[in-house]
Amino acid sequence: MAANLLLHDDQTITLRGERFRIYLDAKQIQERVHEIGRQITRDYDGKRPILIGILNGAFMFLSDLMKSLRMDCEVDFMKLSSYGAEMITSGVVRELKKTDADLEGRHVLIVEDIVDTGLSMQYIPDKMREHAPASLRTVTLLHKFEATEVDVPLDYVGFRIRNRFVVGYGLDYGQVGRNLPDIYELDPNGADQPAQ
């Protein structure tokens, strides 16, 4: 199988023929994740929150965030309909996997990798309220604020970012690129030459 990912240097990569350049490096990401972790540890003092990761993109952020919490906490997952292989949203949100945990009376923290149009983050709390949690908060690593079309309740935001396509640290382009420890943005200077 031909490789999708070409690492050029510290700053640029090619993924599925598109050139990307570094946007947030792993150190910046880790520092911010730990800041949020400290804040959540303070805010949930004496409580035992359950973190609900939204698959697939949130798995890496969720993992690092959870490791930074200094308290008892639990984890579960839900999965919504995917955007598929392309760079734009379909505009339709469906639940593909429900949470397994009993969330009644629990302190629920929804964990997202990115809020784009906001449709997913608008849908999830509505769904969660059906379970009657004791409290409900949201955290997202990235908020593409210029693209957000609906009111979304965001309690913790890692980075507010401009309206550009990003990949890495859990975020994909056609299911590849999630393993990158840094986050890259699409380079507006266009597509690369095919790999030799």
In angstroms, what is the minimal distance from the CB of 93 to ligand PRP? 6
Active site residue 113: no
How deeply is 34 buried, as exposed, middle or buried, from its count of CB atoms within 10 A (0-12, 13-18, 19+)? middle
Residues 6+ apart with CB under 8 A from 3: 195
Beta pairing partners, 51: 75, 109
Site string for ligand PRP, 11-50 (x = CB under 6 A): ----------------------------------------
The answer to the question of residue 116 lying near ligand PRP (CB under 6 A) is yes
Q: What are the structure tokens assigned to 123, written together?
A: 């849908």
> Site for ligand PRP (CB under 6 A): how many residues?
18
Out of 116, 172, 182, 192, which one is annotated catalytic? Answer: 116
How deeply is 93 buried, as exposed, middle or buried, from its count of CB atoms within 10 A (0-12, 13-18, 19+)? middle
Site for ligand PRP in 117-176 (CB under 6 A): 117-121, 172
In angstroms, what is the minimal distance from the CB of 114 to ligand PRP? 5
In angstroms, what is the minimal distance from the CB of 184 to ligand PRP? 15
Q: Which of 64, 112, 182, 192 binds ligand PRP (CB under 6 A)?
A: 112
Q: Which of 64, 113, 182, 192 binds ligand PRP (CB under 6 A)?
A: 113
Closest to ligand PRP by CB, 35 or 149: 149
In angstroms, what is the minimal distance from the CB of 82 to ligand PRP? 4
| 13 residue type, one letter | I
The answer to the question of residue 64 lying near ligand PRP (CB under 6 A) is no
Residues lying near ligand PRP in the complex (CB under 6 A): 54, 56-57, 80, 82-83, 89, 112-121, 172
Active-site residue list: 116
